[in-house]
Structure 1
Amino acid sequence: MLVEELETLRESILSLELDPLRAAIRGQEVPHDFPHELVYKCLVAGIRYHDGFAVELRGKSIHQSLERAFNARDIMSNRLPEMENPEDIPYCFWHPDVPSQETLRQLLKAHPTLFIRYKVGRACAAGGYVKLYKELDLLPDVAIAEEAHDSLPASKGIHDIVMGTRNLYRVMDDYNLCLFDEPQVGAFLNGDTCVRSALDKRQPVHHEIFPPPFDITEDWCLAADGKRPEERPIPSDILSLLYAPLPRQLPSVEKDILILMAAFTGNIDRYVRLRRPRPINGEMQCIVRGIYHNTFFAKWCYEQPDLAVLQKFVHARFIMNDDLSWLNNDRPFSKEDVPRIIWYPQTANRTTYLELLRLIPELKQLVAQALVVSDSPAAFARLEPEITPEIYAEIMSEARSDAFQEFLHQRLSKEEEEELAEWMELPHDIHDSPQGTHFG
């Protein structure tokens, strides 16, 4: 999820009262209105965890996810619901409770589809139903293997059957709640399954919520209270994987921290293996850091269509490498194609910055700031830049050539210098600088 999308989501949540949502999650009270998707998520959580809750809403076509939640609760309570349409059938009916083998057999008889067979196989892995699993005659699916591994020792029989095969397949897609169009042979365990222990880790409903990478229960793993994901300690088995080679069969771990660190350090192999289909919280920021510090990672990102939004940061890395070959004649370039920082973690050659200015004249102020960082006072003075707060701060924050300060003193009054010095004392976001303020 991009920053803009997350901000839009959170702005729309701010007006919601949280106490009614917590009451819905606890199965205590049905909300009076449904102004936001989050209300349905909370209600789904309440329905799945509290048998008999909100049954007055059943069949009223308020939201399809509610019908699936009612049906999942029925199955987990060993009742077989009437599900006439495919969209009525829940993806997950093995959390928070696992139905009995008899209920699963009845479900198979009522809905003898391939999709249901794999879902039943998944429920078998959660419940340790080896006999029923063998009857299903399924491909050795990594999702079932990971679910069985998560349910050890009860599911050791199923785990051994699946892992004992020559090839594993990717059949169930927990990200998109479906089966893959074509089973992918040669798969391996990679933490791409939403196992029951992951569903047990709930996030408290709050105004700064972040949608989880999986939503197989359609409730965002919401809880009425508890610790937010970022507040929980990192397990030792995950920490050890930060400095050790990844095993071919990755254990069932919360791999988000591994994804973030792979992106942060620009480790292409680890990142490509671990990344999820959609960015997780903080991932895009970590990718930007990796781009700035690793040229090869930057080049790889440059060639990924789904990372096109980050191309301007790749341009910065190329600039610092004295490479302007990306400025071709295929399209016009503007200051929007270059980020605010083009001199860290290393500066480019002075001639590179000047050539960049020749090719994109509207980058004058940014190039001037880069020339300050690269300690090139003569080239800086020839540009005659406006003395913005950013340029003033860059000159005054570190030991620079005296020529820079002389340039300032010739163009600023005492009052203007005092105002700029006061601005330096304030906290600033480099992505939100006061571009409309100029002196000189």
Structure 2
Amino acid sequence: MPRRKARYDEEACKDAVHGSRIPKDLSEPCHRLCTIRGIRHHYGFAQQLHGIPEFTRALNARDIMSGIIPTISRPEETPYCIWYPEVPTEDTLRALVQRYPDMLYHAARACAVAGYVDLYKELDPLPEVHIAEEAGYASMQKNSNGSQQIFQHILSQPVKFEIMNDYTRTVNFAGRRVAVLNGDTAVYSSLTARRKYYSPQGSTSIRYRKPWDTYCSYPHYFNITEDWGIDDHDCDAPEAPEDYVPLVYSPLHADLPLINKDKLIHVAAYNGDIDRYARLRRPQMLEHEWALVVHGIYHYPFFAKYWTTQIPEHPEDEGDRRDLKIRRAINARRIMSNDLSWLSPDTPGRVMPDLIWYPQLAYFAGDTHSWDDLLHDAFDIYKSDGDDEPEDPKMWWLSKHTRYGLWMEAESSSNKHFQNDISAAVPDAAQNFQCPHTNSDWWGDYYNAQSLYTSDRDRIVQLFDPVHAGSTEGPYNGMGCGIGDVDLALFLRDAISRETWKREIEDEECLLAHLYEVWDLLDLEDVKSKS
């Protein structure tokens, strides 16, 4: 019999979140997540689901947070996060470790959240980087003296370890490794970010899809509560205690400050910075990260070489499409670096790039002899059964295949050989190719080489949060790989105060300014400094 399709029920989600009713259909992912959320927030809810691992972990976590030491009979029943939405009492944590010694680091992490410095020292865990970051955030966001003492105690140790893993929700004491604070912790304050449940078919835009949507291309990277932060409303988490921007232009510390490092990952990818990127990147790509990787590969050959070690040489069509886009960028960079050693008759067409002349020209670019030789061989490459060999293969190919993009490049070239050839093959080219065809879907019809080197983009500045990654349509094989006008913002931050910026910018929500508005602000600052 065909498998029955799960049916989304909004009322069932609402009731589960509020801990009043278990959804009838738990095969729907959204229903399951709402149920886990309800269990974590409402003691006594959904006890009958005990025995199903994901629900059992939530039930056990809720028991611990309520002061009850549950019976955990199998490893898969051990909860990872036992400190959200409530932190257990010190007595509960002490009793938990006495009964389950393997939960020492879970308990120590809870101490960091709550500031239980005496219990932390009593438990005497190894200095662990996730616990340190948890304590650091709590000390600054909750003004917790106990958390601050735990934070400083761990930082003062000559060696720190990674024992917990918030990406995989595992604690591995035997596999511990020496580590530094690297921004890989789902701290308590980040768990307060909530996203309202909705039907899996409720959004057609990837931008607005929620992490629990199985069709979402960019799910979030942390899920330590196993409910993806699902709720009956949307709510953002508080900002990280420290500003990421100074680290855009400063060396990275051995231990990262208490920042959200996502935008540093974007900058490292965009700039092709191998050391920074390799250290900062998360196990799963961020939204738009792959596009910035493409930019980094195009502009920095060393980054391209690094990425040859990260993905297959011939990614499958049905595999990760990002790998395919990255491989095309690698091959483009190799062409621009005059390397064709990777190319053979068996090279799949899907890994061949379109853009191979920016930001660098290969040796043969602009060469009329290469142009003539290539087009004289065009008939042998493109002929079909029954085609008669033309008198002039070059004119044959140009008459059949010239389009706006090629004409535009020829017209802008200082060498008129190319334009003259096209005009000979298509006498009315100047009239026919005044603009792209209305049905054109080729990016090359909209971005010629000259426009790539002399961009006339509208300068938009976001002074105090300048890194904004994007992957819209653009020239990099049809993709845009932008990061915003970070360079300008970095210099202007010292010249315009945050108070002036916030007071004068019209777009108060995003704090965006056009370049002409920035000059006005500089005048205001100058007047203020002289008064």
Name the CA shift for 1:87/1:393 in 2 (closer, same or farther; >3 Å). Answer: same
* Superposition deviation, residue 298 in structure 1: 0.9
CA displacement 1:151-190 (0-9 Å, x = unmatched): 21331222222122111111111111113442112x2111
Q: Which residue of 2 aligns with 1:69?
A: 58
Deviation at 1:69, TM superposition (A): 0.8
Contact 2:399 2:425 in 1 (8 A): no
With CA pairs under 8 Å and 6+ residues apart, which has the higher RCO, 1 or 2? 1
2:40 to 41, 48, 57: 48
How many Å apart are 1:200 and its aligned residue?
A: 1.7
* Contact 2:129 2:162 (8 Å CA) reproduced: yes
CA distance in structure 2 between the partners assigned to 1:250 and 1:357 by the alignment: 53
Take 1:166 and 1:91, find their aligned partners in 2: how far apart are those partners?
27
2:186 to 181, 186, 194: 194
Structure 1 residues 146 and 313 mapped into 2: Cα distance closer, same or farther (>3 Å)? same
Partner Cα separation in structure 2 for residue 215 and residue 260 of structure 1: 22
Is contact 2:404–2:435 with CA below 8 Å preserved after alignment? no
CA distance in 1, matches of 2:298, 2:254: 29
Does the aligned pair in 2 maintain the 1:238–1:254 contact within 8 Å? yes
Residue identity (%) = 35
How far residue 418 of structure 1 moved from its aligned partner, in angstroms, is 10
Q: Structure 1 residues 74, 407: closer, same or farther in 2, change over 3 A? A: farther
Gaps of 5+ in 2: 204-208, 212-218, 316-322, 383-391, 447-472, 480-531
Q: Which of 404, 407, 413 does residue 395 from structure 1 map onto? A: 407
Compute the displacement of 1:385 (Å): 7.6
Letter paired with 1:223: D
Whole-Å Cα distance in 2 between the matches of residues 387 and 22 of structure 1?
A: 59
Maintained 8 Å contact 2:240/2:258: no
The amino acid of 2:45's aligned partner reads F
Is residue 23–residue 29 contact of structure 1 (8 Å, CA) maintained in 2? yes
Shift of 1:195: 1.1
Match of 1:335 in 2: 349
CA positional deviation for 1:325? 2.6
1:136 aligns with 2:123: yes
Matches within 5 A, 1:270-309: 270-305=276-311, 309=323
Distance 2:166 2:242 in 1: 26
| Cα pair distance change 1:174/1:350, threshold 3 Å | same
CA distance in 2, matches of 1:134, 1:118: 12
Deviation at 1:345, TM superposition (A): 2.7
1:150 CA displacement: 1.5
What residue number does 2:227 align with? 219
Give how far 1:217 is off: 1.0
Aligned pair count reads: 394
Deviations 1:59-103 (A, max 9, x none): 2x4x42111111111111112222211111101101111000111
* Structure 1 unaligned blocks of 5 or more: 1-11, 366-377, 434-440
| Greater CA drift, 168-177 or 29-38 | 29-38
Q: For residues 378-403 of structure 1, what are the alpha-carbon distances to aligned partners after superposition, in whole Å with 9 as ceiling and x for unaligned?
A: 99758548427xx4344348745533
Q: Check 1:290–1:71 CA distance in 2 against 1; reply closer, same or farther (3 A cut).
A: same
Q: TM-score, normalised by structure 2?
A: 0.64
What is aligned with 1:323? 339
Alpha-carbon distance change, 233 to 196 in structure 1, aligned in 2, over 3 angstroms: closer
RMSD over aligned Cα, in angstroms?
4.0
Asked whether the 8 Å contact 2:298–2:332 carries over to 1, the reply is yes
Measure the CA separation in 2 of the matches of 1:54 and 1:303: 48
Match of 1:123 among 93, 96, 110: 110
Structure 1 residue 20 displacement after superposition: 4.3
- The more displaced of 299-308 and 281-290 is 299-308
Query: CA separation in 1, counterparts of 2:423 and 2:241?
Result: 55
Question: How far is 1:287 from its partner?
Answer: 0.9
Deviation of 1:411 (Å): 9.0
Distance 1:75 1:338, change over 3 A: same
Q: Deviation at 1:350? A: 3.2
Q: How much has 1:261 moved relative to structure 2? A: 1.7
Pair 1:130–1:235, CA change in 2 (3 A): closer
Higher helix proportion, which one? Answer: 1
